[in-house]
Chain A
Amino acid sequence: MIFKCKNCGGNSVYSPEKKMMYCPFCESEKSDERQYEHAQMQTCPNCGGEVTYTEHTSALQCPYCDHYIIFDERIEGAYAPGRIIPFKLGREKVKELIRNKFRKCTFAPTDFLSEARLNTIAGEYIPFWMFDYNTRCQFQGEGVKRRVWVAGNIEYTESSYFRVVRDMSIAFQGIPADASIKMPDGIMDLLEPYDYGELVPFRPEYMSGFMGEKYNMAAEMIESRAHAKMESSAAAMLQQSINGYSSLTPANRSITAPSPGTEFDLLPVWVYRYTYKDKEYPFYVNGQTGKIIGTTPISKAKVWAYGATLWACLTAVTAMIGIMIM
């Protein structure tokens, strides 16, 4: 499907700034209507141009007419997302965030923050499985509290032994694991957390203006990632509840959880793919919070030029100070 403006026929898109559908051509608000529903996927229903997509693509931009096309059959039925966090940050805001974050990266290539390069950023809805766990943590063991004091030239050590028992229930909600093969898992983990308070029921309108994917794999296939996060958090909580001991010897420790509840949601990510010397440096921006993940490339020419100049300046200053003292 494509969202068309009823007033001018242009492509209506979701505006993160206005938080509504908007036509960038005639600047009409909420003037959108669905057209070309369930159209063929091979060609753009608007211009007929051939579009390239992968087996997981659910939304893309036509390279010929720039209209955003949403593939109905990949957002419906088994692939229908339950909820979505609509993009909260627009393109201009994200460009500003990237500029602010990397402004002090002295050795980054000059064009890294150029308007032309930054204009290539694209917003993508990433498929995530959300896992809910009802976890039970149990602990039994021996804790020792030690107290040391000195009287005269004798040092005394008092060791008090305790039987430590803990039993706690933890309700984890929405531990995310991205269901996109092309997105690196570690990077997606670093983009967390999202504010789930802004999760809303899915509507296709939110996808107009952005790229998107259906889930690439079933929840069972990636549950282990969420489980690891859950276990790590549960262990930390258990540890926090046992404090004040100099040493702790566990006799019995268990973290258990029945099968988790799952939900398929879409979360917003801006992607800036910068290429330098034939190598791609991707940057990912949380489309809701603005958190940026990515490593800047290094321009060797800049390293040499800046390093040599600083060396020359320092040498000149110290030498001149030496001459003055002499």
Chain B
Amino acid sequence: MENAFKREARKQYLHFFRIWFILVGIVAVVTIVAVTAKNMLRTTGERRNTQAPAERVYDYADVLTDAEEDRLRELIAEKEAGIGCDLVLVTMRQPVEGSEAREAYGYRYTDWERNMQDIADDFYDNHFYGYNAPYGDGALILDNWYEGQSGTHLSTSGRIFDRFGNLEIDRAVTKVDQYIESDPYKAYSACIDYITDVMSGKKTEFWSVLSLLTLFAPIVAAGVFIGTHLRSKEGKNTTTATTYIEGGRPVMNLQRDDFVRKHVSQRRIQTSSSSGSGGSGGRGGAHVSSGGHSHGGGSHRR
């Protein structure tokens, strides 16, 4: 008898979940096909810019070992092919603030941030970087190690400029901040990874929502399923007030509704008004470089 009930329980279980199992199977097949097709069709497009130099890592501050520089070049080469954008790293150790620096280096400004922006933009433009064309798709990480004026600036261009808002720029530069003191290589590679993730769609808000959905939606759904199936009502009352009344209705001996008096009151309606505003978005830190090309970007000073 027990075995028969166990067999019946298994049968009920399989019957109950048959649609789900079929659905999982179908989605699995579709996923395999889609991922395979995606991999086969994935092409980044050939690099069309022949004017830019092959070099991507300029360690003027000499904070990286030769081996680390080579590893960064390899990393950048791999990431560039994946997202179709040039990625350039420049480290330097020179003053960028004050009148003396302006006179000595010919800066347009005396303040740190605008000069860092100019240096990064000019470096990018002067070397004709851009994956699709000179001044095209790409980003440049400029890291200044000059004592008292150290900090990082990210200059964006083309598709990265279009994609990166202030939030993404801030997060990218924060990656450098996190590790720069202990391990410059790790700091730059983390920043490059972040830029690549955003450009390939892995770090979008949608992806974050999807991840949360994948994690919590099944738990919530399973909880709701259990909750609704656990609810068990004994039964409901199906008698009404008239169930036991002979003829189904009472006999009205007297029914009177006599008007007595009337009263009218009034009050003034208070009106109120409200207004609001909001909205944000788009190309973070947008500006035009001294060479006349559109860039975006932002800095963190250490």
Residues of A in contact with B (beta carbons under 8 Å apart) = 105-107, 110-111, 114, 116, 137, 142-143, 150, 153-175, 187, 189-190, 192-193, 229-230, 232-233, 236-237, 240-241, 291-296, 298, 302-303, 305-326
Q: Is the CB of B262 within 8 A of A159?
A: yes
Chain A residues whose CB sits within 8 angstroms of the CB of B245 once the complex forms: 170-173, 233, 237
From known contacts A158-B262, A163-B256, infer whether A313 and B17 are also in contact, taking CB-CB under 8 Å.
yes
If A163-B257, A307-B222 are given as contacts, then 17 extra A-B residue pairs at C-beta distance below 8 Å, sorted by A number, are: A157-B266, A160-B261, A160-B262, A163-B260, A166-B255, A167-B255, A168-B250, A168-B252, A302-B9, A303-B226, A310-B17, A311-B218, A317-B27, A320-B28, A321-B31, A323-B35, A326-B202
Q: Is the CB of B251 within 8 A of A170?
A: yes
Choose, from B73-81, B144-152, B233-241, the stretch at the interface. Answer: B233-241
Give Cα A294 to B241, complex, Å: 24
From known contacts A166-B252, A193-B243, A320-B27, infer whether A154 and B268 are also in contact, taking CB-CB under 8 Å.
yes
Chain B residues whose CB sits within 8 angstroms of the CB of A310 once the complex forms: 17, 20, 218, 221-222, 225
- The A-contacting residues of B in range 179-222, CB under 8 angstroms, are 201-202, 207, 210-211, 213-214, 217-219, 221-222
Chain A residues whose CB sits within 8 angstroms of the CB of B213 once the complex forms: 318
From known contacts A168-B253, A171-B247, infer whether A154 and B238 are also in contact, taking CB-CB under 8 Å.
no
Give Cα A189 to B234, complex, Å: 12
Q: Is the CB of B235 within 8 A of A292?
A: yes
Chain B residues whose CB sits within 8 angstroms of the CB of A313 once the complex forms: 17, 20-21, 23-24, 218
Chain B residues whose CB sits within 8 angstroms of the CB of A154 once the complex forms: 266-269
Select from chain A the residue with minimum beta-carbon distance to B257. A162
Q: Is the CB of B265 within 8 A of A317?
A: no
Does B48 lie at the interface of the complex (its beta carbon under 8 Å from any beta carbon of A)?
Answer: no
> Which residue in B16, B23, B217, B262 is a CB contact (below 8 Å) of A306?
B16
* Shortest distance from the beta carbon of A169 to any chain B beta carbon, whole Å: 5
Q: Is the CB of B211 within 8 A of A322?
A: yes
Give Cα A137 to B254, complex, Å: 10
Contact count band on B? 35 or more
Select from chain B the residue with minimum beta-carbon distance to A106. B229
Chain A residues whose CB sits within 8 angstroms of the CB of B268 once the complex forms: 153-155
Select from chain B the residue with minimum beta-carbon distance to A324. B34
Chain B residues whose CB sits within 8 angstroms of the CB of A170 once the complex forms: 245, 250-251
From known contacts A154-B267, A155-B267, infer whether A143 and B252 are also in contact, taking CB-CB under 8 Å.
no
* Shortest distance from the beta carbon of A166 to any chain B beta carbon, whole Å: 6
* Shortest distance from the beta carbon of B12 to any chain A beta carbon, whole Å: 7
Give Cα A84 to B35, complex, Å: 73
Residue in B34, B229, B262 whose Cβ sees the most chain A Cβ within 10 Å: B229
Q: Is the CB of B237 within 8 A of A189?
A: yes
Q: Is the CB of A319 within 8 A of B214?
A: yes
Give Cα A89 to B232, complex, Å: 25
* Shortest distance from the beta carbon of A188 to any chain B beta carbon, whole Å: 11
Give Cα A240 to B239, complex, Å: 16
Chain A residues whose CB sits within 8 angstroms of the CB of B24 once the complex forms: 313, 316-317
From known contacts A192-B238, A241-B252, A325-B210, infer whether A110 and B259 are also in contact, taking CB-CB under 8 Å.
no
Give per-residue flags for B19-38: 1 if the beta carbon is below 8 A from chain A beta carbons, else 0.
01101100110110011000
Give Cα A164 to B222, complex, Å: 55
Give Cα A161 to B225, complex, Å: 53
Give Cα A321 to B12, complex, Å: 28
> Which residue in B232, B244, B259 is a CB contact (below 8 Å) of A162?
B259
Give Cα A46 to B97, complex, Å: 117
Chain B residues whose CB sits within 8 angstroms of the CB of A291 once the complex forms: 235, 238
Q: Is the CB of A164 within 8 A of B201?
A: no
Does B230 lie at the interface of the complex (its beta carbon under 8 Å from any beta carbon of A)?
Answer: yes
Give Cα A237 to B255, complex, Å: 13
Q: Is the CB of A114 within 8 A of B253?
A: no
Residue in B27, B251, B259 whose Cβ sees the most chain A Cβ within 10 Å: B27
Does B264 lie at the interface of the complex (its beta carbon under 8 Å from any beta carbon of A)?
Answer: yes
Chain B residues whose CB sits within 8 angstroms of the CB of A166 once the complex forms: 252, 254-256
Could you name 14 residue pairs across A and B whose Cβ atoms are closer than 8 Å?
A: A155-B266, A157-B267, A158-B263, A160-B262, A163-B256, A171-B246, A193-B243, A296-B232, A309-B17, A313-B21, A314-B221, A318-B213, A322-B211, A324-B35
Does B242 lie at the interface of the complex (its beta carbon under 8 Å from any beta carbon of A)?
Answer: yes
Give Cα A294 to B235, complex, Å: 7
Q: Is the CB of A169 within 8 A of B260?
A: no
* Shortest distance from the beta carbon of B11 to any chain A beta carbon, whole Å: 9
Select from chain A the residue with minimum beta-carbon distance to B9. A110
> Which residue in B8, B16, B201, B252 is a CB contact (below 8 Å) of A326?
B201
CB-based closest 10 A-B pairs: A314-B218, A236-B241, A293-B235, A167-B254, A311-B222, A171-B246, A170-B250, A110-B9, A165-B256, A167-B253
Give Cα A125 to B179, complex, Å: 84
Give Cα A249 to B246, complex, Å: 30
Chain B residues whose CB sits within 8 angstroms of the CB of A116 once the complex forms: 1
Chain B residues whose CB sits within 8 angstroms of the CB of A236 once the complex forms: 241
Give Cα A189 to B12, complex, Å: 34
Give Cα A317 to B254, complex, Å: 68
Give Cα A314 to B268, complex, Å: 57
Select from chain A the residue with minimum beta-carbon distance to B253. A167
Does B271 lie at the interface of the complex (its beta carbon under 8 Å from any beta carbon of A)?
Answer: yes
Give Cα A26 to B232, complex, Å: 43
> Which residue in A110, A241, A324 is a CB contact (below 8 Å) of B8?
A110
Does B258 lie at the interface of the complex (its beta carbon under 8 Å from any beta carbon of A)?
Answer: yes
* Shortest distance from the beta carbon of A173 to any chain B beta carbon, whole Å: 5
* Shortest distance from the beta carbon of A154 to any chain B beta carbon, whole Å: 5
Give Cα A106 to B13, complex, Å: 9
Q: Is the CB of B269 within 8 A of A153?
A: yes
From known contacts A155-B269, A163-B256, infer whether A190 and B241 are also in contact, taking CB-CB under 8 Å.
no
